[in-house]
A and B are shown apart, each in its own frame.
Chain A
C-alpha cells in the first residue's frame, strides 16, 4: 500500500513532550506546572449567559465573521483598552481560538518558499503552521541577556529577500517577556524598512503585571502591516470555549475570512455568546484573576531564585522560565528526573524552539498551596543532585 501521509504532515515534528505526557498519566500525586491554561473556572456569569442562550434556542451558525454584537463590543473594547482601531464590519473575524486565527492568517499570506521569521522561544504552533502553508519558518532567538525580548540586530540578521513576515508573541509564552513601546519601536523600523508583515499574537495582553500592554499595531506606522491575534482563553479563563479573533486591515482580513469560511464556517455560537458576556461584565472577575497571578508570580519567582534556579521576573503571562544551567543537568534530564523523583511536571524549554535550552517552563497558574508544595519538592530534588 502507498504511504498516504502527505510530505507536509510527515515533516512537522510530533509533540516535544509526548514521553512526559505518557509518563505522567501513569503517576499519582503529580503537581503539574506544565499546563498552559488558567486554573480558574470560567466566571459563572459568562457560563450562565451561554447556558441561557442555549435554552433560548440560540444554537445555529453565525455569520462567518462572527456575531455582529460581539464584533461591535470587541471593536469598542480594543479601542478603549488598547487604542486599537478596527472596524467591526470588515476588519475583525471571530475564530475558534487563536489557534485557528493563526492558521488562517498564515495561510492567507504565505506563498510556497516564503520565509517567516519566528521570535523564539515561542508557542509551539507557529513553525508547523508556516510549514503546513508551504512556507519556511526561520527562528530568531530572544536571549536571556535581553530579558527574552526580541533584539533588533538579531532580527536584522535573519532577513533575506525571501522574508515575508515576522511572528511575535508578547507577553510571551514560555518566557513571560514583555515588549515595551520603545522595544517595539525598534522592531517597527526594521519591519517597515523591509516591507514585512507583522503577525502579533497578543493572547496574554491582559496578563501584563507592570504598566499596560502596548498593542503592536499602535506603534509607529505598524497598523497597516500588522495582523493582531487575540482571544478570550487566558484572560477570562475560557480555554475550552475556543473563541479568538483576528484583526487586520480589510484586504488581509478578507483573505483570511475566505479561508475561515471554508475550513471553520464560524466559531461555535455558544462560545461567542459567552465571549460577549465576558466583554460586557467580567472586567472585575478578570482583574481579580490577573491580580492573583501577579501575587503568585512574586511568590513563585522569588522561591525559584531562593532554591537556586535563577529566574528573571516575567512581566506578563503566567509562566516562569528559570535556568537549570547551574545544576549541571540538561533541561530535558532535569524535567524527566524531577517528574519521576519528585512528581512535579514542568516543560523543558527546548520544546519552545531556539533559546529554550537550559530552561524550564513552569506555569504558575496553579493554587498558591500547590506552588509552595512544588517549590519544596524542587528544592529537595536540587539538594539531592
Chain B
C-alpha cells in the first residue's frame, strides 16, 4: 500500500464510476497500472464494493429504516462475535456495529413498511438468545449518509474573475 494506492482509494470512495483512464491522469499512473492496483485492492478485500448513495425519500418508495440498539450478554470464548455474525446474515440488517456505552450492538434495519420492520425486530432480533434488551429508533428523515449531504444546499456565489 503506497501513496498512489491511497490516492486511488480516496478517489473511488468518492466516485466509483470513473474509468481507468480518468483515474490514471489524476494519479499520474498508466491505465493498466490503475487496473492492476484496483484489482489487487479488490482481491485483498480493501475495496469491498462499488456502490451508489441513494436518497430513497426522493423515489417515494416509502421504505422505513430503524436504528436498533441491543444489550447483549457476551459468550465465553466468543464475546459478541457469534451473535453479531448471526444477525449480520439477515438481509434486512444494513449495518451492524459493536459500540461502547449503554448498549453493545447497533444495527441499521430497513423494511418496506413500519410493520415489516417491527415484525422483523420482534420475531427475529429480540427473541435471539443472549439479547437482554432492545431499543428501536425509527429514522424519520436522513440529512447525511456516508459523508454525503442529502438536502439541497444553496450554492455560494463567486465572482467570475478574481486575481
Contact = CB atoms under 8 A, between A and B. Distances in A.
Task: Give the interface size class of chain B.
Answer: 10 to 19
Contact of A302 (B25, B159, B162, B163): B25
A35 B26 contact: no
Given A291-B10, A295-B11, A34 B161 contact: yes
A24 B161 CA distance: 9
Interface string A125-136: 100000000000
A263 interface: no
A298 B161 contact: no
B158 A299 contact: no
A345 B11 contact: no
Interface string B52-64: 0000000000000
Interface centre among A124, A291, A295 (most CB of B within 10 A): A295
Given A35-B158, A37-B158, A39-B158, A295 B27 contact: yes
A35 B22 contact: no
Nearest to A313: B28
Task: Give the interface size class of chain A.
Answer: 20 to 34
Contacts of A17: 161
Contacts of B25: 298-299, 302-303
Contacts of B159: 35
A298 B27 contact: yes
A210 B27 CA distance: 13
B121 to A, nearest CB: 35
Contacts of B7: 291, 295
Contacts of A124: 163
B162 A36 contact: yes
A78 B137 CA distance: 48
A123 B163 contact: yes
Contact of B162 (A35, A39, A41, A298): A35
26 contacts: A17-B161, A20-B161, A21-B160, A24-B161, A32-B158, A32-B160, A35-B159, A35-B160, A35-B161, A36-B162, A37-B158, A39-B158, A41-B156, A124-B163, A125-B163, A173-B163, A291-B10, A295-B26, A298-B26, A299-B22, A299-B25, A302-B25, A302-B28, A345-B160, A345-B161, A347-B163
Interface of B: 7, 10-11, 22, 25-28, 156, 158-163
